[in-house]
Amino acid sequence: MTQDRQGPLTGIRILDLTRVLSGPYTSMMLADLGAEVIKLEMPEIGDDSRHFGPFQKDESAYFMSVNRNKKSITLNLKSEKGKEIFKKLAAQVDVILENYRPGTMEKLGLDYDTICQVNPGIIYASISGFGQTGPYSRRAAYDGIVQAMGGIMGITGEKGGKPVKIGSSIGDIIAGMFCSTGILAAYIHRQNTGKGQYIDVAMLDSQVAILENAIARYTVTGKVPKPTGNTHTSIFPFETFPTASEDIMIAAGNDVLWSKLCTALDCEELITDERFSTNPERGYHHDEMFALLCERLVGKKADEWVKILDDAGVPCSLINTIDKVLENPQIQARNMIVEVEHPKAGKNLIAGLPIKMSLTPGAVYKAAPVLGEDNRSVYKEMAGIGEDELEELKKKGVI
């Protein structure tokens, strides 16, 4: 896709210093919605994730998956000239986004308080493992660390089994989503007051924020929540069931759906059975309910049951592998898998934009940038640096 940048955030300019996932996911969301994102990377090295596999023609597919719609410039922030150039850029952007360990930007002399002198209206967002305050603030963190510390691993896995990390990097991604929300809120505040502000988002905080009913269950019952496999802890039946071919997911989230499920399975007698007549009762008698439903479900193949249950209005699904997700007609109809043309890697499939807007739609309009792809245009426009000076800066390792 090569169309021009568009969307409700067109006109917002972001200087993005982030690497790997949490920060790049934040800036990708904003870029998809039209913001101009200038990704600042170390000369010759770039974002750490440029070196993560798998690779497509020597280009990281990992990097390409979360850095679309961005520009790339290189700049060595440890050099005095690099800091000088950074401040020139900072004076002309709306947002600065970074995910270094707390204290790093202060050591560089490029922290929020310093940049405020250059750009009083700046919105300066920091993502870190544990936040800018607290006893763990200077500790390093990765996704697996915050999943473990934040409690989500403690409720994930088979019943009676060991805790299991969630397959997606939810520690990074959720922090990125919260940070993008914070940036948008701060931007609206600046529109109303003219004042920028500092945003501090911690991956650990973000994990705690999505524990929802796990915290509620513990505070009300005093019992520590444990892994329950694919079974919901409050709604029944809401879990996977075996069939003649493979497991399927069924979610009968209320008494009406329970009745529809029993009718579709030709076991209407269970509708009025006192053990299963209400959701709490189905929870108390879960094992009996599960066994009775399994007796019916093993009689047909999974795809047959999905057709029957879907026709009856009962939420259900096959358990798709990633290849099946890409082939799913609903996913395709919603443009959730898009093809982009990378200048080096060629055609590349990536996830699409999940936010659909009627008046100001965003778009995936370009592939992830090659390292330093936009040095010439950005430095000329925003810092007044000509060709000769660019070459000199490159020789000195500044860009």
**CB 155, CB 214: distance < 8 Å:** yes
Strand duo 248-251 + 316-318: pairing: antiparallel
Catalytic machinery residues: 172
| E strand or H helix at 109 | none
The contacts of residue 173 (CB under 8 Å, 6+ apart) are: 21, 22, 25
The encoded tokens of residue 393 equal 């800066």
How far apart (Å, rounded) are the C-alpha atoms in residues 364 and 342? 13
Question: What are the residue ranges of helices labelled H in the chain?
Answer: 22-32, 61-66, 80-90, 104-108, 112-118, 143-149, 170-193, 203-209, 212-221, 255-264, 279-284, 286-297, 302-311, 322-327, 329-333, 375-383, 387-395
The encoded tokens of residue 29 equal 């969301």
Strand duo 70-74 + 36-41: pairing: parallel
* 263-299 exposure pattern, b = at least 16 Cβ within 10 A, e = fewer: ebbeeeebeebeebeebeebbebbeebbebbeebbee
- The number of angstroms, rounded, from the C-alpha of 271 to the middle of its chain's C-alpha atoms is 40
How far apart (Å, rounded) are the C-alpha atoms in residues 256 and 66? 41
The encoded tokens of residue 248 equal 């399927």
**CB 229, CB 163: distance < 8 Å:** no
- Cβ contacts of 347-353, under 8 Å, gap ≥ 24: 348/56, 348/61, 348/64, 350/64, 350/65, 350/68, 351/65, 353/32, 353/33
